[in-house]
Each structure stands twice: as structure tokens, then as C-alpha cells.
Structure 1
Amino acid sequence: MSVLVTGANGFIGKNLVEYLGENGIETVDTESLGDITDDECFDKLDLSNLSCCIHLAAKVFVPDSWKDPSTFYKTNLIGTLNVLELCRRKQIGLVFVSAYVYGIPEELPISEESQIVANNPYGHSKLLAEQLCEFYYNNFGVKVSIIRPFNVYGVGQNEKFLVPHIINQALSHEFIEVMDLAPKRDYIYIDDLVKAIVSAMNSDIKFAIYNAGNGKSYSVKEIIDIVQGIVGSSKEVRSKNCSRENEVVNVVADCQKIKTELNWMPEYTLVSGLTKMIEDMKTKI
């Protein structure tokens, strides 16, 4: 049996496919997949022994979603619909990797039962896709596990994202500059997220939604301080004091549900994850 991973060439996808291969799980070659919004995108793939689908293909960068919301809605909603249709026809389960969809939280930590207020087009497109998943479970019997990762970071992440952006500057720039020092986020290392996804794939639960985080938040300033401590630098830190639209000040994930139902625990602290990233990025400079 094999697993279809959409978005296999992305940051999460590459790490997931590598982990599955190391553990003897075959993945479908999605090199010819094409546009996930195309109704015929799966026609060129060999899906004869398909046992599960893990859906990662998406538009993901929040600032870009404000500039081009229609592309985010099209890719993230229609793409998910096409995947659900495949799962319905093949009678296989789906792990859908969603996003942070809670907006400005009323209280911390944030559980899966907390109020949903998607506050950017990216998050809203993912929330609509979640609703599609639940509809297909309720009406077509498609087994679905939804993972809501908090802030993912790790080796191989694009440098337009905050953590590799900070590390790159700490290693090779005269100073470190960011948009805002204040926002606090709950960070999950890529290897921990991959194991959460695989745990959901192997679960017998028919429908569930899980947060995936570490249960502690760090500000941008705290991340810079930790990175500089690991690197051994004391570079000037500059902030543009520019907040994102609908900025969330602080988020902390309540991960008790995934720990209880899937027996999952994050293995990386922020320090150990950042250390691994820094070691990797040093070799590339």
C-alpha cells in the first residue's frame, strides 16, 4: 500500500516523504501532479494501491494572502475539494494539514474548542477547507484527521519566514532587522509536526481535529536572543515597528487532545530546534 502526499515538494512535504521512506512507507511520486485545482490532476498518477492521502498542497504565506486572496481561496479550497473527491472515490482516509484559525484568542492556551475567527485570507481559506472535510465525513463517510499546526519552523524552511530570516541575519549580516519584536507565537519543529501527521494517519478515529504546538510562546525578541546566544553574537537588533494587518499578540496551543488520543509529544524544545537549524544553515553560507 502507498500514501499520496500532495505538496510533496514543499517544506513540510519533503520532510514528511523522507520520514515515511525511512520507515518503510511508500509514497506516490507526485512529480506530474500539476495544478491541484485541476479536476484531472490525479489522472497521471498510479493510485492503484493507495491507502491514504496526506494533503499539504496549499498557498501558505500570510502576507501574500492579503495581496492575492483569490489565489489562496482557489488553491486551498478547490484543491482540498479535489482531494476529498479522490478519497471518496477510493474509499481512503485523509490527513488534512490546516492552519492556525483562531484569530485573536479570548483566553490562553487555545484548545480545539476555542472560538474560530480566521483573521486573514490564508487562515479563512483553510477554515473553509476544514468545513469541506467535515461535510465529506458526515455525508460520504470519508475518514478525516485535521491537524492545526501553530508556527512551524525547521531545516529547509524558506528564508522569507521569520525564524530562518533571523538566523540568516545572525550568521551573515551586520545587524538583525525584523518588522516587529513583540508578537509571541507557539513554535513547533518540523520533525515533531511530521510525527504528528503520521500519528494521525495511523489512527482509527474517524474524524478529529488536533492542535499541534509546544504549549509555550516566544516573542520575536526572545527568538533573536536565543539565536544570538547559540551563534555567539551580539549584533544590533532593529525593528521597523510595523504590525501585520489583524496582528495577533500572543498564541499558546493546548495540545492535550493530540497527546491523549494519538500518544504524541513534541520532542524538540525551541533551543534544540534552533540549534539544529543554525548548524544546517552554517554549512550553506
Structure 2
Amino acid sequence: MGRRLTARLRALGVDVAGFSRSTGGDLLTGELPLEGAGHVFHLGALSFVPDSWNDPATYHLVNTHGTVRVLDQCRRTGVPVTFISTFVYGAGAPVPVPEDFPPNPANPYAWSKLAAEDACRFFAKTFGMDVTVLRLFNAFGPGQKDSFLIPTIARQAVDPSVKEIVVADLAPRRDFVHVDDVVGAMISTIGMPGGGTFNVGSGKSHSVGDVIAACLKAAGTDKPYSDRGERRENEVMDVVADISTLTAATGWRPQVEFENGMKSVIEALAPC
């Protein structure tokens, strides 16, 4: 996501200074390259939900304390921040869910992000910083790590040695939002004053079964698929973002339809 954000900003004529593990950056010890900066997009985090159950303390340290360090450096230099959060509402959330519905994180990753959100709102209120929180629903697209659901399914769809696609559970529905739409939402927050919190999604939900069917269609193949009937702890069965608040504030709207988004994932896996 960071690479696509950087590419979009540079295409708009914006100078970009990156800070990531790939360039030697460390949220817990490093100093951000803020000289001359006009805006900071804070995407850095540990984000794989299954791993968060095994090590919640490290997720909290990196995602929460790391965010406090980013905020404090930006406070001292007067640079506005857009913080990338996640779905923090949990089971029982209405469909679609608005930003003012009470949070109830369903896993340690979401809990660490909610704690970081609280830090964002504290810095905005107490220090008068311009800090915008974007709650991403299920972002996907080319370049996503192989361990995530959609890349896992897509690789099985294009692999001729895989005769049947098997997943844990076909039923859960998620609001899948394409990375290019997420980038558009982030860019829309440049110049936004105050400390707002906004959902970022497609405004629709699709099941895991829908994802498989769309990937198979994009790959031009047909394979059987099934699930093992395994339901995750604290599973949320249907998720849809109410995106009206961000649309009203910035005019942003998602542009990439679900099947076109899956096609972009499949095309990125094609051999050169």
C-alpha cells in the first residue's frame, strides 16, 4: 500500500520521503525525515491478525507506542498526520456500521489500533494537531502479502497443480476495498483540519466464496471449492462500512468494483 501511495503522490508532482523497515526505519527508535514535510501518512504496523493472538504485547508496542512516537515527532514539527487504522467494531455491529458505533475490538491487532486511535484523538484535542484517522476495512490488491486471504486464494486459482480450493470457512462476508481506492481516500485527507475519524470501505460486502468465484473467473478457469467448517474465535459474520461521512467531508468515493479488483490481483500474478 505504501508503494502505491508513493507512486500516486509522485504522479501528482509531490516529493515523497519514505520511512519503513525496508529503508532501515524503526517506529520504536527511529526519527522521521520531517524536514520540509507537509503531511505524514502513518501506515507502519504489525497487521497479520493470527499472529497478534500469539504476541499481543509486541503488537501493542509497535502499533500503539510506535504511533505515539510518530505523533510526538509531528507535534514538535507541526506536521499534520493521517493515521491508518482498521475495523475496530467487533461482533454485533450494524450493517453498515457508522463511525460513532461503540468500538469492541475482536482481536489483539484491532485492540492495538484502537489504542493508537485514542492517542491520535488525544494529540488532536490536547495539542491542536491536525490528525485524521482512517478505519480501513478489508483492503486488498496487487502486492499484498501472501499470508492474507485474497493472495492465498488467488495463487491457488492460477496454480494448475491445485485441483480444489479449500478454505477454513466460506461464509464470512467482508467489505473488500481496493488498494487504489484506499490510496485515494488517504490523499483526500491532505489539508483536512482537526481530528476526524472516518471509515474507508466499498460500502458492500462479499463472502469468502464470492472471492474464490471472482478469482476463478478472472483467471479464466473453473475449480471446485469448499471449506473445512472452521470458524474463528470471535468471528464477525458480516461487515459493511458506512462511508458516507468521508464522502461528505472530502467527496471521496470508491471507484474499483469488486470483480475488477480481483482481476487486478490475478493479473499481477501472471508471469512476465
User: Aligned partners of 1:25 and 1:192: how far apart in 2?
Assistant: 19
Partner Cα distance (2:271, 2:178) in 1: 20
Q: Any idea what SS the aligned residue of 1:191 has?
A: helix
Residue identity matched to 1:279: E
2:257 is aligned to: 269
Aligned-residue RMSD, C-alpha:
1.3
What is the aligned partner in structure 2 of residue 110 from structure 1? 97
> Secondary structure in 2 aligned to 1:112?
coil
CA offset digits 1:182-239 (Å, max 9, x no partner): 1000010000000100101232x31111101111101101111122222232212131
1:77 aligns to 2:64 (yes or no): yes
Question: Is 1:208–2:196 an aligned residue pair?
Answer: yes
Alignment correspondent of 2:2: 13
Query: How does 1:1-285 map onto structure 2 within 5 Å?
Result: 12-30=1-19, 32-38=23-29, 41-42=30-31, 46-172=33-159, 173-203=162-192, 205-283=193-271
Residues 146-181 of structure 1: CA deviation (Å, up to 9, x unaligned): 000100000111111111111110100222121111
Deviations 1:55-91 (A, max 9, x none): 0110001111001111100000111000010111001
SS at match of 1:26: coil
Residue type of the partner of 1:158? K
Aligned partners of 2:256 and 2:223: how far apart in 1? 26
TM-fit CA distance, 1:34? 2.7
Distance in 2 (alpha carbons) for counterparts of 1:16 and 1:236: 36
SS of structure 2 residue aligned to 1:283: coil
CA distance in 2, matches of 1:168, 1:259: 34
**2: CA distance, partners of 1:58 / 1:122:** 9
| CA apart distance, 1:33 | 4.7
Residue 265 of structure 1 and its aligned partner are, at CA, apart by: 0.6
Q: Which residue of 2 aligns with 1:6?
A: none
CA distance in 1: counterparts of 2:261 and 2:248, whole angstroms: 24
Contact kept, 8 Å, 2:125 with 2:195, in 1: the verdict is: no
Shift >3 Å, 4+ stretches:
none
Q: TM-score, length-normalised on structure 1?
A: 0.91
TM-score (normalizing by structure 2): 0.95
For residues 48 and 23 of structure 2, what CA distance do their matches in structure 1 show? 24
Unmatched segments (≥5 aa) in structure 2: none
Name the amino acid aligned to 2:47: V
1:15 alignment partner AA: R
Structure 1 range deviating more: 24-33 or 239-248 = 24-33
Identity %: 36
Distance in 2 between the 1:106 and 1:264 partners?
Answer: 24
Distance in 2 (CA, whole Å) between partners of 1:189 and 1:211 is 14
Report deviation, 1:263: 0.6
Alpha-carbon contact 1:105-1:115 (below 8 Å) kept: no
Contact 2:82–2:134 (CA under 8 A) maintained in structure 1? yes
More strand as a share of residues:
1
